[in-house]
């Protein structure tokens, strides 16, 4: 698209219409485009106009008008460039929502925001995460925007929590991490899998060629290609504490916060649904949002033994999203006996500090997931507002298989069940199965 950008650089507004000489165009484009173009459609099914509206940088947007009652649905394809494009949709000047476009061939359909009552609406669609490199160019191409009746809500869905994978990236012949990811992608329909997170120690230690990061990065790519959003918590082994020989280095404190290499390989754009970060350009403390089961979810990843400023930032995030059910993911929280950790390690604050100053303070914090120690455990706590908080440990440090915790939520029944399964050996761990009713979801 960079050639197109150069050609149309002087074009500010392109009104809706068909391209001259477009034999397939049977209707005018529904869009008026600012800093973009109307081009022949390349995805399927082909829109009635035979065209799509291309947005190619963060100053690009398309305008259209829709009428009806129900969900706003956008048909779009995207060009992948270190991540898929994200569009922001506004209706009558008010934000409706954002969605990542995760196909280069099929036009949608992407439902955005809450259900709209009967009416006529002015719609604005923007590209918000443009990226261009010598290798690729991220753009989005809009085929249509329309209102469709709201579908019946599927109230049961799942998300996955991957435990410490540091043992799985030591050897090029070890395919356990990739096989787990491939299995999750293959099962996403059967599981109705909506999100994947990782509780830290993605790698074991850094080396001059960063080969463990390269292996982990490649193994996680199928999630991005499938459009499954994910996040990774940062573990102590994901920092510069451990050198090429796997031995700890000193001083540990500053090295714990050196996540330069981690953030070079794993970015918010790759994760696909990140909406905010404590520090620009770093995913050490970040949050992502999505909707599933008819309710809103916020996944908050928090650095290991976090700084007080990071906890204060997290408090602000949770307070600003009172209608989201919050999932906290941090590398160390529960001990192997299911107690909350008391030590700050070589960081700043302890898991108990995180519980006292964050987890127990907000009625919409529902779950905490961690790794770092032990095998697996679970506990239930009560927050200051009387809400229950469900915390789960999954670590394993396995050298023979690849466990993953699966969490199934039924929003109609207000319940969850969770189990651990290892696809590499087709193995379950029933001792760690749990089921809870009346979990108190925020709606």
pLDDT tens sequence for the chain (443 residues): 444 444 343 344 455 544 444 444 457 999 999 999 999 999 999 999 999 999 999 999 999 999 999 999 999 999 999 989 999 999 999 999 998 898 999 997 898 988 899 999 999 999 999 999 999 999 999 999 999 987 777 899 999 999 999 999 999 999 999 999 999 999 999 999 999 999 999 999 999 999 999 999 999 999 999 999 999 999 999 999 998 888 889 899 999 999 999 999 999 999 999 999 999 999 999 999 999 998 999 999 999 999 999 999 999 999 999 999 999 999 999 999 999 999 999 999 999 999 999 999 999 999 999 999 999 999 999 999 999 999 999 999 999 999 999 999 999 999 999 999 999 999 999 999 999 999 999 98
Q: How do beta strands 140-148 and 156-162 pair?
A: unpaired
Q: Could you read off the pLDDT of 360-391 as tens digits, one per residue?
A: 999 999 999 999 999 999 999 999 999 999 99
CB 392 within 8 A of CB 417: no
Is 2-148 assigned to CATH 1.10.3720.10? no
pLDDT score recorded for residue 102: 87
**Contacts of residue 394, Cβ cutoff 8 Å, sequence gap at least 6:** 161, 163, 199, 369, 371, 375, 376, 403, 405, 420, 432
Predicted pLDDT of residue 26: 59
pTM: 0.72
pLDDT at position 22, please?
41
CA-angle at 69, arms to 68 and 71, nearest 5°: 110
The 10s digit of each residue's pLDDT in 309-348 is 999 999 999 999 999 999 999 999 999 999 999 999 999 9
Fold of the CATH domain 156-437 = Purple Acid Phosphatase; chain A, domain 2 (3.60.21)
Give me the residue spans of the domains in the chain.
Answer: 2-148, 156-437
414: which residues sit within 8 A by CB, 6+ positions away?
A: 437, 438, 439, 440, 441
Per-residue model confidence as pLDDT tens digits over 238-275 = 999 998 888 889 899 999 999 999 999 999 999 999 99
Each residue of 263-273: b (16+ CB within 10 Å) or e?
Answer: bebbebbbbbb
Give the pLDDT of residue 14. 53
Q: What are residue 236's phi and psi, to 5 degrees? A: -65, -30
> What local confidence, expressed as pLDDT, does residue 366 receive?
98
48, 41 Cβ separation under 8 angstroms: no
Hey, CA dihedral for 36, 39, 41, 42, is it positive or negative? negative
């Amino acid at each position: 698209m960079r050639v197109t950008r150069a050609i149309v650089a002087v074009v500010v507004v392109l009104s809706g219409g068909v391209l001259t000489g477009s034999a397939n165009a049977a209707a005018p484009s529904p869009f008026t485009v600012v800093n973009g173009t109307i081009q022949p459609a390349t995805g399927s099914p082909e829109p009635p106009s035979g065209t799509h509206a291309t947005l190619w940088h963060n100053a690009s947007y398309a305008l259209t008008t829709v009428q009806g009652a129900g969900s706003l649905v956008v048909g779009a394809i995207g060009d992948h460039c270190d991540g898929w494009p994200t569009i922001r949709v506004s209706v009558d000047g008010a934000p409706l929502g954002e969605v990542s476009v995760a196909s280069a061939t099929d036009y949608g359909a992407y439902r955005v925001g809450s259900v709209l009552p009967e009416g006529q609406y002015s719609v604005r669609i923007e590209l918000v995460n443009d990226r261009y490199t010598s290798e690729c160019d991220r753009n989005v191409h809009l085929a249509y925007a329309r209102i469709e009746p709201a579908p019946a809500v599927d109230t049961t869905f799942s998300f996955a929590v991957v435990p410490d994978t540091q043992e799985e990236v030591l050897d090029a012949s070890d395919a356990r991490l990739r096989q787990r990811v491939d299995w999750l992608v293959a099962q996403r329909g059967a599981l109705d899998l909506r999100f994947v997170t990782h509780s830290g120690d993605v790698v074991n230690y850094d080396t001059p060629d960063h080969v463990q990061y390269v292996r982990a990065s490649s193994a996680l790519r199928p999630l991005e290609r499938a459009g499954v959003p994910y996040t990774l918590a940062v573990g102590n082994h994901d920092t510069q504490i451990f050198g090429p020989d796997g031995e700890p280095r000193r001083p540990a404190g500053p090295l714990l916060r050196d996540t330069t290499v981690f953030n070079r390989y794993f970015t918010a754009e790759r994760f696909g649904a990140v909406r905010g970060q404590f520090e620009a350009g770093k995913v050490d403390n970040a949050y992502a949002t999505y909707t599933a089961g008819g309710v809103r979810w916020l996944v908050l990843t928090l650095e290991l033994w976090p700084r007080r400023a990071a906890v204060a930032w997290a408090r602000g995030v949770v307070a600003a999203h009172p209608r989201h059910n919050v999932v906290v993911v941090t590398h160390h929280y529960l001990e192997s006996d299911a107690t909350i950790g008391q030590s700050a390690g070589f960081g700043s604050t302890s898991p108990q500090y995180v519980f006292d100053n964050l987890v127990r303070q907000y009625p919409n914090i529902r779950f905490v997931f961690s790794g770092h120690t032990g095998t697996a455990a679970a506990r239930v706590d009560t927050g200051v507002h009387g809400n229950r908080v469900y915390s789960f440990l999954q670590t394993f440090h396995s050298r023979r298989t690849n466990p993953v915790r699966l969490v199934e939520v039924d929003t109609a029944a207000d319940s969850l069940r969770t189990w651990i399964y290892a696809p590499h050996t087709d193995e379950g761990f029933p001792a760690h199965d749990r089921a809870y009713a009346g979990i108190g979801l925020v709606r």
